[in-house]
């Protein structure tokens, strides 16, 4: 449903974040693909393959589980559930073909404990992780004992509010804004978020931007510029080290623009009038989102 010109704009907006994550040799671009394609397959009514990507993404990196957010847009929910069970069992057991079940179960247990330890390490003030909502609060207050769960519970409740607008599910722009929300939410509520992780959130920012009605309002352009400068460029050589070390990393400032834009997305999902659409409108200046 995203037009070719908008895809090009998204790629340009995310280029620097892609370079950052590519230099770190991380799987974050793959996670972007998995999350987006799990959404696309739901759009195409190919629930079987959407479930495959969600299961695969979860076993690669837990971020993949957020694809479950698109379950509500499925036209065949039972098929989706059965497919997810099938692929989850397959992904869980297939390593046992080259090793013993006991060994694989022990590795999963070790993985779980490693994640718990890593979560505690991430919360250390001044670390290169925790560029998140929780990290901002912990670092601004200089208190790394602040737990994650109050923020996660609050974030999930806020994230889930737009799903109460059942009639809006039929609108493609509502679903795309939900995709943008999912991509950003995944990062800003993860204590493991670091600079290379923000390719995931920044794709969400770019999708949100191109889905805003034309002509773009000044505050929309302003938020994008704010995100490009503080989120995308703050970990490049354009920012002096003393700014990065003493401000950007120290207070997790990289997360701020994405947090603000995510709040805007939730507000738009809750307040904009989404018309029911059967097909995409070919006129960018007459979108199925009405400003309210």
pLDDT at 52 over 90: yes
Domain ranges within the chain, ordered by starting residue: 4-290
CB 195 within 8 A of CB 248: no
Tokens 């989850």 sit on residue: 88
Residue-wise pLDDT for 15-50, tens only, equals 999 998 888 888 899 999 999 999 999 999 999 999
Q: Is 147 exposed, middle or buried (0-12, 13-18, 19+ CB in 10 A)?
A: exposed
pLDDT at position 237: 82
Measured CA to CA, the distance from residue 14 to residue 204 in angstroms comes to 10
Smallest Cα–Cα separation from 203: which of 75, 48, 66?
66
Looking at residues 258-266, what average pLDDT do you find?
A: 97
Identify the weakest region by mean pLDDT among 88-92, 95-99, 112-116.
112-116
pTM score of the predicted model: 0.88
pLDDT at position 276: 67
pLDDT at position 123: 67
Question: Could you tell me the pLDDT band of residue 288, with boundaries at 50, 70 and 90?
Answer: very low
Q: Is 273 exposed, middle or buried (0-12, 13-18, 19+ CB in 10 A)?
A: exposed
Looking at residues 262-268, what average pLDDT do you find?
A: 97
pLDDT at 126 over 80: no
Residue-wise pLDDT for 195-245, tens only, equals 899 999 999 999 999 999 888 899 999 999 999 999 999 888 888 888 888
């Amino acid at each position: 449903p995203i037009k070719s010109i908008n895809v090009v704009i998204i790629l340009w907006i995310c280029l620097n974040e892609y370079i950052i994550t590519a230099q770190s040799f991380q799987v974050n671009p793959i996670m972007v693909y998995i999350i987006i394609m799990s959404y696309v397959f739901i759009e195409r009514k190919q629930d079987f393959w959407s479930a495959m990507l969600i299961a695969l993404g979860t076993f690669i990196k837990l971020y993949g589980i957020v694809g479950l957010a698109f379950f509500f847009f499925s036209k065949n929910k039972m098929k989706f559930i059965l497919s997810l069970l099938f692929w989850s069992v397959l992904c869980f057991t297939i390593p046992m073909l080259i090793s013993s079940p006991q060994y694989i179960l022990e590795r999963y247990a070790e993985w779980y404990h490693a994640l718990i330890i890593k979560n505690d390490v991430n919360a250390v003030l001044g670390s290169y992780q925790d560029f998140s909502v929780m990290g901002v609060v912990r670092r601004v207050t200089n208190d790394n004992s602040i737990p994650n769960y109050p923020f996660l519970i609050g974030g999930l409740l806020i994230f889930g509010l737009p799903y109460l607008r059942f009639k809006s599910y039929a609108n493609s722009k509502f679903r795309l804004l939900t995709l943008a929300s999912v991509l950003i939410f995944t990062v800003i509520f993860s204590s493991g978020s670091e600079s290379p992780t923000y390719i995931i959130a920044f794709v969400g920012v770019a999708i949100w931007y191109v889905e805003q009605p034309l002509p773009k309002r000044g505050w929309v352009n302003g938020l994008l510029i704010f995100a490009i400068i503080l989120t995308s460029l703050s970990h490049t050589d354009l920012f002096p080290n003393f700014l990065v070390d003493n401000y950007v990393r120290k207070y997790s400032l990289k997360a701020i623009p994405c947090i603000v834009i995510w709040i805007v997305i939730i507000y738009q999902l809750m307040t904009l009038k989404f018309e029911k659409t059967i097909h995409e409108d070919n006129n960018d200046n007459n979108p199925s989102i009405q400003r309210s």
